[in-house]
Structure 1
Amino acid sequence: MKLAVVGGGSTYTPELIDGIAGRRSTLDVEEIVLVDPDAYRVETVGSFSQRLLEHAGHPARVHTTADLEEGVDGAAAVLIQLRVGGQRARRSDETFPHVCGCLGQETTGAGGLAKALRTVPVVLDIADRVRKVAGEHTWIVNFTNPVGIVTRALLGEGHRAVGLCNVAINLQRTFAGLLDARVDDVRLVHTGLNHLSWERGVLVDGVDRLPELLARHAEFLGEQVGAPVAWMRRRNVVPSYYLKYYYAHDEQLARQRTEPPRADVVSDVEEELLKVYLDPEQMTKPEQLTKRGGAYYSEAAVQLVHALTAAGPAEEHVVNVRNGTTFPFLPEDAVIEAPCLVDADGATPIPQQPVEPPYAGLIAAVTGYEQLALEAARRGGRDRVADALLAHPLVGQYAKADRLADDLVRINRQFLPWARG
């Protein structure tokens, strides 16, 4: 089997390669093509990735190219992990909303919208070209943020796409360690959207162990996700750590104004990693990679690709998929993040108990914003940008939405063809 990774020059691509190297018996990969226009980065990452595989005794070969059509031709699955504008654009996403007293973040709020506007047209162009070269049956696994909006764009154009995030698998591993349980025995009742989710149950052998987790480990979990212990116990829930941007907005904003942007930290880590990857004696995944983010990305991605490309029984994974009737308070074409049964035919959400009002209300509000964000990304227009910002719970005021829309368009003009005319 051939896999293609678009954005293969990313410094966390070796995480994916390390995961493939460890799944030789279940994922029959013979060729991995890293596609990236940055020749220096992709060659550096590609050479190191080949050494990782060889050191693990895996027979797959790694190739690199800047030619998308060459890279995806014959691929069974194409993984997309892009950052349009690089860390410089990310730094802007994390800082420009501060002028209006709004939180800056690369996947939510005004910063998340900026990233969506830059990213959606690029990913759709890539997906169209993949379909022409590799065929309509090739799976697209989207790891590009904002995952929910980008995946909704792909599904809206009829692509065979599934969105993936590492939040759920990270929590699954955390819970398994705290419960002294096998990871594969832990199932999550994961509810919500990408970067807007709650764990409403933690099932081990069919028994919900969430009350036990909160009774014994709420302090630790609260530190991990940025939530008050009393609230988690009262609601019997563990939120994603992205919920702190909603539930503790002012505190997070104050912290952002006193700490360096995450983009600066990641840029330093990436520079360090590239130096490590250049060392021909480096044969294993370096410790510095843990600072890059994306914990367990490799495991989640490899397991998902296996489920989508193998002929075996369906596997359970938390992924981003079309809502259908899973959450009746959302449009059917909305994209949710939920436990699904995944096989070669795709991902089918597992039915959940009705979603309580404290979560359903926020899910519905952000879904409405995501629909407007997608319209702005597809059709352009400053006013569509302002309308999307006004609908977002982290903005939600006329004056702020208008000011942020003007700033967003001005700062990102080079990435928005409709804004350059």
Structure 2
Amino acid sequence: MKLTVVGGGSTYTPELIDGFARLRDTLPIEELVLVDPAAERLELVGGLARRIFAKQGHPGRIVTTDDLDKGVEGADAVLLQLRVGGQAARQQDETWPLECGCVGQETTGAGGLAKALRTVPVVLDIAERVRRTNPNAWIIDFTNPVGIVTRALLQAGHKAVGLCNVAIGFQRKFAGMLGVAPADVHLDHVGLNHLTWETGVRLGGPEGKDVLPELLTAHGTDIAGDLHLPRPLLDRLGVVPSYYLRYYYAHDEVVRELRTKPSRAAEVAAMERELLDLYADPALDEKPELLARRGGAFYSEAAVDLTASLLGKGGSPYQVVNAYNRGTLPFLPDDAVIEVQAAVGPKGPTPLSVPSVDPLYAGLMASVTTYEDLALRAALHGGRDRVFRALLAHPLVGQYAYADSLTDQLIAHNREHLAWA
């Protein structure tokens, strides 16, 4: 089996490598190719990756290259984890929207739209090259904004599935609170990427007992603290929103916070420099503790599980993925990309039936789906007016004066990445 990681020079990659090494019985990789144009980073990450495999006795071969076509040739699956513009672009995404009093964040709001505009054309070019070289390969997208990027891939006819680590993080956290194995926790997870709610926590599978009420009673304060939301809100909702919902439920509070502290991009950039120094140590043969602060918790386990299922190597029978709606949520278009539990196999994901969704959540999903549709049109076809329409539709922007100003700033800050600008 050959697996290719595009963006393999990311400081995330050792987390992925550690999962591949630990879970080699689930996903028996013979050749792992790390593709990245940043030669120096790739050399450091590749060296550590080989040492991790060697320490854990993994027999697979790790290859590094800046040649995308060579890297994806013959791959059974291609995992995308790239960041167009690097941390410098992220820093901009997280700062200029604040000037209008809007959230500055890399996956939602105006910053998320900027990332989508930079990313979609690059990902589609990569996917076309994968299809020319190996049309049977699965493309697994971990690149944000996952929902929009996955929709672009699916609309272009690619064998693609989107992956996020929010659900597996909740699964692991709830399993610890309940004192059970993670595999025994099945989430009723519903929404769009980075706009999701846990409406049930079931023991044993989709038909198991829902213990969410008991979980909230016993651990609601801890859960609310992790989400930076008040405990009474969780009690009133009776569900667990993802932490990205805080941008909607506490927008003004978040903006005030973001204006008074260093951006997450600045924190991550400093962390990456420290991580790369650690990776350069030839004695290091395991992922360092610092990597846990970088983000992406349990990313490797989710990636192994999904890849194994898509390639018919096992994996969990049900997994949370980003896939076409196709009637699963009747209030959204069939070609919307939703994030829900699905049965996953070599033919791809089949979303499980979802009970009736509370209008409080369905309304926000529908609104953001409209934004994502307009955002994808802007990413595919360009144009100031398309950018403006997407921003005007976004619940975190909404006002025409803000949309006008943010459109100008978005284009000015991203001109080098926008072929039409």
**Could you say which TM-score interval applies, normalised by the shorter chain?**
over 0.9
Q: How does 1:328-367 map to 2 (within 5 A)?
A: 328-367=330-369
The Cα offsets for residues 86-135 of structure 1, whole Å up to 9 and x where unpaired, read as 00000000001011110100000000000000000000000000000012
Cα drift, residue 314 of structure 1 = 6.7
TM (normalized to structure 2)?
0.98
Q: Secondary structure at the match of 2:341?
A: strand
Q: Secondary structure at the match of 2:198?
A: strand
2:290 pairs, out of 253, 269, 288, with: 288
Q: What is the alpha-carbon distance in structure 1 between the residues aligned to residue 46 and residue 315 of structure 2?
A: 33
The residue that corresponds to 1:128 in the other structure is: 128
Amino acid at match of 2:211: R
Give the 3 Å change call, closer, same or farther, for CA 101–53 of structure 1 in structure 2: same
Amino acid at match of 2:354: Q
Q: What is the alpha-carbon distance in structure 2 between the residues aligned to residue 26 and residue 162 of structure 1?
A: 19
Does residue 239 (structure 1) correspond to residue 238 (structure 2)? The answer is: no
The residue that corresponds to 1:8 in the other structure is: 8
* Count of residues in correspondence between the two structures: 418
TM (normalized to structure 1)?
0.98
Root mean square deviation, CA, Å? 0.8
The residue that corresponds to 1:180 in the other structure is: 179
Task: Give yes or no for contact 2:27–2:313 (8 Å, CA) kept in 1.
Answer: no
The residue that corresponds to 2:166 in the other structure is: 167
1:219 pairs, out of 221, 225, 237, with: 221
Moved over 3 A (4+): 311-314
Cα drift, residue 56 of structure 1 = 0.3
Q: What is the alpha-carbon distance in structure 1 between the residues aligned to residue 218 and residue 32 of structure 2?
A: 44
Cα drift, residue 229 of structure 1 = 1.2
Q: What is the alpha-carbon distance in structure 1 between the residues aligned to residue 119 and residue 168 of structure 2?
A: 25
Amino acid at match of 2:152: A
The Cα offsets for residues 165-224 of structure 1, whole Å up to 9 and x where unpaired, read as 000000000000000011000000001000000000000131111001100100000011
The Cα offsets for residues 31-51 of structure 1, whole Å up to 9 and x where unpaired, read as 100000000011110110010
Does residue 418 (structure 1) correspond to residue 420 (structure 2)? The answer is: yes
Cα drift, residue 227 of structure 1 = 2.1
Cα drift, residue 321 of structure 1 = 0.3
Q: Where does structure 2 lack aligned partners over 5 or more consecutive residues?
A: none
Q: What is the alpha-carbon distance in structure 1 between the residues aligned to residue 233 and residue 360 of structure 2?
A: 12
Does residue 52 (structure 1) correspond to residue 52 (structure 2)? The answer is: yes
Q: What is the alpha-carbon distance in structure 2 between the residues aligned to residue 234 and residue 247 of structure 1?
A: 13
Give the 3 Å change call, closer, same or farther, for CA 125–186 of structure 1 in structure 2: same
The residue that corresponds to 2:36 in the other structure is: 36
Task: Give yes or no for contact 1:246–1:394 (8 Å, CA) kept in 2.
Answer: yes
Task: Give yes or no for contact 1:311–1:344 (8 Å, CA) kept in 2.
Answer: no
The Cα offsets for residues 147-173 of structure 1, whole Å up to 9 and x where unpaired, read as 000000000000000000000000000
Q: Secondary structure at the match of 2:282?
A: coil
Q: Secondary structure at the match of 2:329?
A: coil
Q: Secondary structure at the match of 1:408?
A: helix
The residue that corresponds to 2:25 in the other structure is: 25
Cα drift, residue 312 of structure 1 = 4.5
Q: Where does structure 1 lack aligned partners over 5 or more consecutive residues?
A: none
Q: What is the alpha-carbon distance in structure 2 between the residues aligned to residue 39 and residue 335 of structure 1?
A: 34
Q: How does 1:246-395 map to 2 (within 5 A)?
A: 246-310=248-312, 312=314, 315-395=317-397
Q: Secondary structure at the match of 1:69?
A: helix
Q: What is the alpha-carbon distance in structure 1 between the residues aligned to residue 99 and residue 233 of structure 2?
A: 31
Q: What is the alpha-carbon distance in structure 2 between the residues aligned to residue 381 and residue 21 of structure 1?
A: 45
Q: What is the alpha-carbon distance in structure 1 between the residues aligned to residue 314 and residue 273 of structure 2?
A: 41
Q: How does 1:71-150 map to 2 (within 5 A)?
A: 71-135=71-135, 137-150=136-149
Q: What is the alpha-carbon distance in structure 2 between the residues aligned to residue 84 and residue 292 of structure 1?
A: 18
Q: What is the alpha-carbon distance in structure 1 between the residues aligned to residue 58 and residue 287 of structure 2?
A: 15
Q: How does 1:393-404 map to 2 (within 5 A)?
A: 393-404=395-406
The Cα offsets for residues 206-257 of structure 1, whole Å up to 9 and x where unpaired, read as 1111001100100000011122211211221000000000000011000000
The Cα offsets for residues 297-336 of structure 1, whole Å up to 9 and x where unpaired, read as 0111111101111255872110000000000000000000
Amino acid at match of 1:259: K
